[in-house]
Amino acid sequence: MRRVGLFILCFMALVAMRASAGTYTLTDGAKIEGEPVSENDNGVVIQTADGTDLERIPFDKFTQESIRALYAGAKSAREKALIEPFVEELPQERAERKEIIVKPIQTPFRPTSHLGMTALFGSPVGLTLLLILYGANLFAAYEVAIYRRQPVSMVCGLAAVPFLGVLSPIIFIAMPGPQGAGEEEDQRRFRPTPPPTDIAAVPSQDSAAGESFVPAFARSRAPQPEGALEEEAASGTPEPIIFQRGEFSFNRRFFETKLAGFFRVVPGEAEKDMVVYIKSGRGDFTGRRITRITPSELYLQVFHDNATADELIPFVEILEVQIRHKDSV
């Protein structure tokens, strides 16, 4: 019985060896039947059914079907790594499709109260925009009051009324300026006359060609009404020369041309007894010299307690400029 069992085992091993053997086709059409027994970088050794080992055959001599068969029958990872570079297309497993889970969407909360204009200005951003618009309306009212020569307190006070105040700058800018007696007085003040012959010409600081320059207050002296010459002669002080906003644009060019003599450190004969009187939105200032000027402001040398100081006056705040005698201040 033992011999019979041993015979059966040998027979089964032979059958298994036969089953592992295969047929491999070469690129030249030749077919080889056997089992791969040794594989390296130079190729594979195939053992035939009768136990004979053939010469090592390079992998590039096998067809793609035979290469795939060798790759499928490889017994170790090393053998697969040797054959894999010669396989043109390896069979790939189909990727499993992931299941898409659709989650329910939670809609945002919608407010049901405090809607409309109140909600617009209920947020910090809305309040900030409201304050900016309110301040811009007040500034516009201030500029309109100066331009139209209206009381600043009245125009800005009406503009401060919430919601309805936006109409204040529009109404006052559409109104005509003050006329009547004031207009006749302005024409009397600003009517140009020839300069007096006793005032010497003073060279201008801005003249590049060395041309002579006559001070503005000497050129723009208005004709005196009846009795004014006698009063002026009795008092010994000339009448002030007045420039008002609306009739003149107060900018750097205005002061450099009309008040050029007041830029000198040492005043000339025409300016030594005269002072500059400026009315502005934040007060009145009197000085003898303009120390510095920029495109948007000037510095007037004023007197405080027997001492001098440079006062900064922006052009936008100036309402009126006068050239007076020092004794009339």
Domains in the chain: ranges and CATH: 9-86 (2.30.30.100), 124-174 (no CATH), 181-328 (no CATH)
| pTM summary value | 0.32
DSSP string, 155-182: HHHHHTSTTTTTHHHHHHHHSPPP-SHH
CB contact at 8 A, 260 and 216: yes
Q: Which of 251, 276, 282, 253 is nearest to 264 (CA)?
A: 276
Contact (Cβ atoms closer than 8 angstroms) between residue 261 and residue 267: yes
Per-residue pLDDT tens listing for the chain (329 residues): 566 556 566 555 544 444 456 788 888 888 888 888 888 888 888 888 787 888 888 888 888 888 888 888 788 888 888 888 887 765 566 777 888 888 888 888 776 766 666 666 677 888 888 889 889 999 999 998 888 888 888 888 888 887 778 888 888 888 876 554 444 444 454 444 444 444 333 444 443 333 444 444 444 444 444 444 455 445 567 888 999 998 898 999 999 998 988 898 888 888 888 899 999 988 899 998 999 999 999 999 887 777 788 889 999 999 999 998 888 76
Provide the H-helix boundaries in 175-215: 181-190
Q: Which two tokens stand for residue 238?
A: 């000339």
Rounded CA-CA distance 326/303 in Å is: 12
Question: CA torsion sign, 206 to 211 to 215 to 216?
Answer: negative
Question: Counting Cβ atoms within 10 Å, is residue 141 exposed (0-12), middle (13-18) or buried (19+)?
Answer: buried
For residue 69, give both structure tokens.
């068969």
